[in-house]
Chains A and B, each alone.
Chain A
């Protein structure tokens, strides 16, 4: 699984970080960082939920 964020859409509201902090982090500079681009399968449910709950539909999961 590969996590892709469309940074043109992302508005750094950190919703994804609230759901999957292992993968997404909004830092004090207000930018979103992807901590693991290819997270372990065990994180799939959380990453999928983050993608579903992203208010900007900025997250896609490949594979």
Chain B
């Protein structure tokens, strides 16, 4: 392999190019990114970056100089398609350029889902949060002490709400479901997340569908499906993300809620994917097709996909399946929420290592006798032990025993 192109200059793409150089790949290495920024860290955007005292030096994802990586770096450059013909494999760029490459790594991540179908979505002050530019814009608006309405009580919406409450702002959260994150966590833990917001003075409306936004040029209120209106100077829409695959339509790759790969992260001969854009069957969970939208996955998968490109060899014998335990964290108020594994509200659940009332506990999730997930509120040490047990395919009974032995 003499040349490799990585599309998407964020966490997964950066960890990929770092891995390639560490592995001794010394060919031409092109990193293509649509944003005009070097790779930066997104989690702080909804946390410290909105808390006031904006300091972008906190966002760097690399401690060593970029020169060490000897990259052909194309920032502010959007890829528009692929040429998958093995004889002239290439990434096509906006404007007509081609980047010829023996290997291609797709890491274009995801983008915020918008409410563009709704009336008033174009009003000034209706925002989404995905990029550092979005965050800078929202941070500047927060300085004017707006009444904030957050649409969606998922992780990012909840963090924005928590950070704004930390600044003493009036915050309303609108969630269409009967409890926050009820599909993933179930009604009991969803209610704990709801109570956490209410304890901190958030005006939380559940089962509240948004019908549109109203105002004269600037947003002034949000109209709900049931006819009520809620005054707002700033609306942050946090209703999830969609994988950035629009540019791959018609490329010949399989697209279905992400770039569909095999268990070794290969999307097509010479093409692999990593990060928020990648959907692959995780062998650790019986080959369930997963697309993860979390930091640790982007970092781990960036490494794994890069290794897969350079280590597999012509006969593919060196290709290893990617079988991680999904891990995500979210910081809300003074609570550190962490989750490991793959679970739904339908699974068996047991609360250990504390109580939900004190917001310090671990919820263990079991399915068919196996420990498949754990959710912790401010219990990092315990959570990591269960992450390991999930990896080792421990039984649910063994996890409960571990919990009882520890307390």
CB pair B295 A18 closer than 8 Å: no
CB contacts (< 8 Å) of A26 on chain B: these are 380-381, 384
- How long is the Cα–Cα vector from A27 to B60 in the complex, in angstroms? 28
Q: Chain A residues with Cβ under 8 A from B295's Cβ?
A: 55
- Which among B378, B380, B387 has the greatest number of chain A C-beta atoms within 10 A? B380
B342 within 8 A of A: no
Give, as a whole number of angstroms, the nearest-CB distance from A50 to chain B.
11
A27, B381: Cβ atoms under 8 Å? yes
Q: Once bound together, how far apart are the Cα atoms of A27 and B381, in whole Å?
A: 6
**0 or 1 for each of B39-65: is its CB under 8 Å from A? (1 = yes):** 000010000000000000000110100
Across-interface contacts of A17 in B (CB, < 8 A): 381, 384
Q: Does A14 contact B (CB under 8 A)?
A: yes
List residues of chain B with CB within 8 A of the CB of A27.
381
Bound complex: CA A15 to CA B43 (Å):
15
Which one of B60, B303, B329 lies within 8 Å of A13 (CB-CB)? Answer: B329
A38→B333 CA distance, assembly (Å): 36
Once the chains bind, are B381 and A15 in contact (CB under 8 Å)? no
Q: How far is the CB of B128 from chain A (nearest CB, A)?
A: 23
A41: CB under 8 A from chain B? no
* B63 partner, pick from A11, A15, A18, A60, beta carbons under 8 A: A60
- On whether the beta carbons of B329 and A52 are closer than 8 Å, the reply is no
Given contacts A13-B329, A13-B338, contact A53 B384 (CB under 8 A): no
Bound complex: CA of A19 vs CA of B364, how far in Å? 20
Contact A13-B300, Cβ < 8 Å, known A27-B381, A57-B63:
no
Q: In the assembly, what is the distance between CA of A25 and CA of B388, in Å? A: 14
Q: Is A28 an interface residue (CB 8 A)?
A: yes
Contacts A52-B299, A55-B295, A57-B61 known; A14 to B15 CB distance under 8 Å? no
Q: How far is the CA of A60 from the CA of B299 in the complex (A)?
A: 17
Interface assignment of A30: CB less than 8 Å from any CB of chain B: yes
| Beta-carbon contact of A30 and B380 below 8 Å | yes
Whose C-beta in chain B lies nearest to the C-beta of A55? B295
State the interface size on chain A (CB cutoff 8 A).
17
Among candidates B60, B303, B388, residue contacting A18 with C-beta atoms closer than 8 Å = B388
What is the distance, in angstroms, from B104's C-beta to the closest C-beta of chain A?
A: 23
B60 to A, closest residue via Cβ? A57
Could you give, for residues 23-41 of chain A, a 1 whenever the CB lies within 8 Å of some chain B CB and a 0 otherwise? Answer: 0011110100000000000
Query: What's the minimum C-beta distance from A46 to chain B, rounded to whole angstroms?
Result: 13
By the criterion CB–CB under 8 Å, are A13 and B63 in contact?
Answer: no
Separation of A57 and B43 alpha carbons in the complex (Å):
13
B296 at the interface (CB under 8 A from A): yes
Residues of B with C-beta under 8 A to A60 = 63
B338: chain A residues at CB < 8 Å are 13
Contact status A14-B43, CB under 8 Å: no
Q: Which residue of B lies closest to A25 (CB)?
A: B381
What is the 8 Å Cβ interface bit string for chain A, positions 2-21, against chain B (1 contact, 0 not)?
A: 00000000011111011000
Sample of 13 A–B contacts (CB below 8 Å): A11-B336, A13-B336, A13-B338, A13-B380, A17-B381, A18-B327, A18-B384, A26-B381, A30-B380, A52-B303, A53-B296, A55-B329, A60-B63
Q: Which residues of A contact B (CB under 8 A)?
A: 11-15, 17-18, 25-28, 30, 52-53, 55, 57, 60
6 A-B pairs besides A14-B381, A27-B381, A60-B63 with CB distance below 8 A are A11-B336, A13-B338, A26-B380, A52-B15, A52-B299, A53-B300
